Every structure is written in structure tokens, then in C-alpha cells.
Chain A
């Protein structure tokens, strides 16, 4: 607690005039306002294009409405949600999203890690291979999807031709319920592995070389160097890749749209495609908004869990 102390009056020094006080006050206000003014443009942008749409879609999800007639919007509360959650198609969509995400993330990251271990060397060859592995990342996903449809074509596709060459039976790829999902996962891994590998290699190269030299002098066998030094040192990288891969896998759309349209028999229908279908094909705005909110919630929860469970083990320098 501060004690009120009368300001000492010193003769010869006059007290500030009212005008001076007022000028001082406005100046103090300006000082306080200044940082907000600086961030105002960015904040405006953020509110307008990020927060507002999120809030608005949550709002929309409580109405029964259709894209065909935006005049008529009936407040239905949580009905859109209960309808969705009661629907077995939607269960399947959730399940598909989960299977797809877990497989893509786990296999994709594992494969990238192994590739990075292999490619993290000085010689030129490795640079070339690295560039080749990275190239799918810069191709548009739609082109990638088209390309793989050709490759996977049961009649004249390259993959089956290769299988036949080594005497194996052709494969149905996108045409059957089980294999269609596997095909999508395969394409997604193929597309993402270059980026993940690159990030892993960057992470590996930031580990000081003398730590490995110290490990050599300590007679560390390679697998212990890997598990006790490399992997723990890469934990921030691993964590980063885990989060962004999970989020982007949950949002898969292009490949489904181009390659399977969610089929056969809903076997590759996943959240974003489902939302698109509800909104653009069935004009069911209520269901689409509710599904969007569910997607938002799921990704949010997953990211939160990542931070809670993994975040604690991440070693930051």
C-alpha cells in the first residue's frame, strides 16, 4: 500500500499549470494507445478473416437453413448436431478421418525420419535424391491426384503393369472399399514425405557435430546414439511435424474429390469432403456448419492433446 504523502512544496518551483497537466495526461494516453495502433491493422485482418468466420459458422450451425434460400433460417438449437451424431454415415466419416489421419501421420513421419537418416550426408547424390523426394511437395494436390489415378488405373495403370511384370496379380486400388482408403493414404504419404524429410534433415543438421563426436568417444553404439541423442534432440521437430501433419490430414479434401468422391460406398468419405457434400451437393447448410464446428473441435482437441502429452517431453535448447 502506498501512503499518501503531501507533495513537498519547494519555493521557487511553481506547480504545473492545469494546461500542462492536461497535456501530460493526453500524452500518457497516447503512449498507452500507441502499441494498439501499431497492431490494429493486423488485428483487424485477424478478426475479419479468422475469428469472425469461425464465430459465424458456429452461429450458423444452430439454424436449419439451405444455401438455396438464405432468407429462411430457423433456429433449431443443437438439432443439427444431434442429427449428425445419430447418423451412421457420419460415424463412418469420423472413423474414416481417424483411420486416415493416424495412418498418414504415423507412417508418413516414420518413413520421413528413416529417409532423413539416410539422406543426411554430405555427398552430392544425397542432395539429388533429397530434391527428388521433395518435388511432390511443390506439385498441386489436384495434379498429384490425377497422376495417381493414372498410375492406379486397373487396366492400363503403371502400378499394375509393374506388378504383372514381377508376376503378381493386378490390384483394384481405388475401386474397392478397403483398397481405396489405402490408396488415398499412400498418395498423401507420397505427397508429404518430401517436406517432412526436409524438416527432419534441417533438424538433424542443427545438432552440433561435436555431440556425436563425444558420443563416439563414449563408445556409444549407433542405436543408442539414435535413441538417446538424435531422437531427443529432434523432439521439437517431431512435435512440430506431428501437429501440422495431423491438422492437414484431418482437412484432406482434394484427393478425395478427384480420386474417389468419397466412395466406394462412403468408404473414403472424410470430414471436409462430407461438409462439402452437405453444403454444395445437398444444400444442407445446417448440417455442413455443424460438421464444420465438429471438425474445428476435433482438430482443436487433438492439437491441445499434443501439446499436453507431447509438449512436456519436448526438449527445447
Chain B
């Protein structure tokens, strides 16, 4: 068990910098998820923590120790690889026991430990099999068992569920979270899937192009995005972005699930509490309980998420209403969040009441 700290970490490959001065504290016992689009440097960051990649500059601390110079085996971390990286020529038992044997654990203790772990992850009947004779889910468990058996301070996982089918992935997601609770060790988990991040992490690190965009708990990330990138990356479908009403320097954003579609005929909408966009519905996607409506408005195309029961016909002229309390304002140039709107924007704010 240990906290992990990254101080001004950078990583360059040839002439390209892929991690650009990352500062991050991963608290002891947390389930920290690194999330971001593919190629943003998540794996590279994780591999630097593991020691599989050297750092170009900066300092990595695991526990109280600076580990920059330590080889991977000496950092007391275990990693679950995306493609599992099992030893193909060894059977399941040897795969799990290999790390223990290398540490000099006796054969007898090895047997006890491996069998205990195999029981936990449900591999006991398969100990004699080669990885090629296992299903994807079983291989995943072997990879997990191989990491767990070493009782490391930190678990590193690089998109460990991405090779599983959807059903198994959901199941493993739950199992991993409960495993984390059970072990109490620090988990650092890399994924490009925001749903995975939101459901599993207690601390989420959003990355983009080698930079950290925001570090927060899942709900905070959804409710209080600090910048355009996070606002659009977290949440599905992505936040709508429109030009703001009277300030060309800022952009407004609102989530598809916070907007309402109203008939064009309704005129009772109070413009003091809501913004209203007039337009017509160009297409509709039914997701099941919810439907997505694509509305072409004077400020661009926006998406509105509504209950499927409330059907609205295509091509209908409608107005999209969003309460000011659900509008996020961002600086157009920096992309940073300006403030949370609590009422109508300043120029026409008359009463002074907030």
C-alpha cells in the first residue's frame, strides 16, 4: 500500500513529447483512473510508473521512495496488460507462480499462495492448462491472479477489459471494483472509455495530448468540468457548445439531458430563467428508454436527450430550452471554465438578487 506521486514528469520519444510535465498525486488506496482519447499518453504515463519506460525528466515517488532508478521488478508494483501478456509456454499455475519463484518464495509457500489466489479468481480447475486453452475471460483472470499473488503496493492496469465482450466487461468491472475494496491497495487504471472511468474510479484523471486536464471524483467531473475538453469528453452524448449570447469571448455549453424540447407554439417560457433556441428536428436516435434528438438551430446543431415516451415528430419546428442554471460558460481561447451561471448573464441582470 502506497501513494504514488508524479512531479513534473515528461516523456519524449525521438523528437516528440508525449507526456508534458505531469503533476499528480495518487492517494494511498485510491482507485485512480487515467482516461483520455487514444494517443494522449495514458499508457506511457502508466509504463513510466511501472518502470517499463524511463522518464525524460521529473520524479516518480512510490510510497516514500523515489523510484526513477529502480528496475520494474523492484518497485513493488504489478501490472495487468491489455493483451494479458501471459507466458504462453507455461501453464496457469506456473504463470501465477513465476513472480513468486523469482523472489525466492519456497515451492511449498508458492503452492499455498497460488492455490489461494486461484480460488479467489475462480481458476482452480484450470491450473494445468496453457493460456491458449483458455477463453478471453479466463486469461484475464490469470493476468489478474498473476498480479495479485505478489501482493504489490500498487496495481497498474492498462485497458485490461478492452479485449472482452460487453457482457463480460460489465461483470469484470464490478469484480474489479469489489476486488479493490477487498485488497485496499492503490489501483491505477488506464482506459479510453469514460463509462469505465466514471463507474470504477474514485479519482479520475482526464488527459489530453500529454497534459492533465482535470483531476476529480466522477460526479464532480460531470457536474463541474474545468474546461471545454473535460466538458465534452465526459458525458454521453457530449455537451452541446454554442456561442454565448452577448459576449463573443465566451462559449456556452449545456448537457443534452438538461435541455427540453418545447412546441414552437408555447410562448410562456420565461427568458429570465432559460435560454431558448429555435429550430427544427432533423433526426432522432432511439437508445431504448431515452432518445436523442438532433435539432438544427440558429446557433448550430444541438443534441437533446429525452424520454422516448415523449415523441416529437421529425421536421417539427421546436424551441430548445435550457435553464441558465445548467449553462456552463467557457473562455473561447483558453477553453477554461469562466463561471457557473446562476441566472441571466450580467448585462440584463437587474434586481441584484442571486
B88 x A218 contact (CB < 8 A): no
Q: Do A214 and B85 have beta carbons less than 8 Å apart?
A: yes
Query: Is B81 touching A219 in the complex (CB atoms < 8 A)?
Result: no
The smallest beta-carbon distance between B14 and chain A, in angstroms, is 12
Q: Does A35 contact B (CB under 8 A)?
A: no
A contact face: mostly helix, strand, loop, or mixed: helix
- Asked whether A218 lies within 8 Å of B52 as measured between CB atoms, the reply is no
Indicate whether A88 reaches chain B with its CB closer than 8 angstroms: no
| Residue in chain A with minimal CB distance to B102 | A219
Complex: chain A residue closest to B156, CB-CB: A217
CB-defined contacts of A224 to chain B, threshold 8 Å: 102
What is the CA–CA distance of A108 and B150 in the complex, to the nearest angstrom? 41
Say whether B167 faces chain A, with CB atoms less than 8 Å apart: no
What 0/1 readout, one digit per residue, does chain B (109-133) give for beta carbons within 8 Å of chain A? Answer: 0000000000000000000000010
| Shortest Cβ distance from residue A35 to the other chain B in the assembled complex, whole angstroms | 32
A206 CB → nearest B CB, Å: 11
Compute how far the CA of A228 lies from the CA of B97 in the bound complex, rounded to whole angstroms: 13
Given the known inter-chain contacts A208-B83, A224-B102, please indicate yes or no for A217 contacting B89, CB distance below 8 A: no
List, in ascending order, chain A residues with CB within 8 A of B51's CB: 216
> Within B88-104, which residues are at the interface with A (CB < 8 Å)?
88-90, 98-99, 102-103
Shortest Cβ distance from residue A117 to the other chain B in the assembled complex, whole angstroms: 18
* A216-B52, A219-B74, A220-B98 known; A232+B83 contact, CB < 8 A: no
Q: CA separation between A169 and B43, bound complex, in Å?
A: 61
Say yes or no: is B50 at the interface (Cβ < 8 Å to chain A): yes
Number of interface residues of B (CB under 8 A): 25
**A315 lies within 8 A of chain B by Cβ:** yes
Determine if B71 is an interface residue (Cβ-Cβ < 8 Å). yes
Query: CB-defined interface of A212-234 with B at 8 Å, one 1/0 digit per residue?
Result: 01111111110010001100110
Query: With A213-B52, A218-B102, A219-B102 given, is the CB distance from A317 to B132 under 8 Å?
Result: yes
Residue A128, interface by CB 8 Å? no
| Distance A117 CA – B103 CA, assembled complex (angstroms) | 25
A210 contacts B by Cβ under 8 Å? yes
A217 touches B72 (CB 8 A): yes
A211 contacts partner chain B, Cβ-Cβ < 8 Å: yes
What chain A residues lie within 8 Å of B78 (beta carbons)? 217
B132 and A214 form a contact (CB under 8 A): no
- What residue in chain B is nearest A235 (Cβ atoms)? B89
Which B residues between 122 and 151 are near A, CB-CB below 8 angstroms? 132, 146, 150
Bound form: Cα–Cα A224–B100 in Å: 13
Shortest C-beta distance, B302 to chain A (Å), equals 43
A-B contact pairs, 7 of them (CB 8 A): A210-B85, A213-B81, A214-B79, A214-B81, A214-B87, A217-B77, A317-B132
Extra contacts, 6 of them, besides A208-B83, A213-B79, A235-B89 (Cβ < 8 A), are A216-B73, A217-B52, A217-B78, A218-B99, A315-B89, A317-B88
7 tightest CB-CB pairs across the interface, nearest first? A219-B73, A218-B99, A232-B89, A210-B85, A214-B85, A219-B102, A216-B72
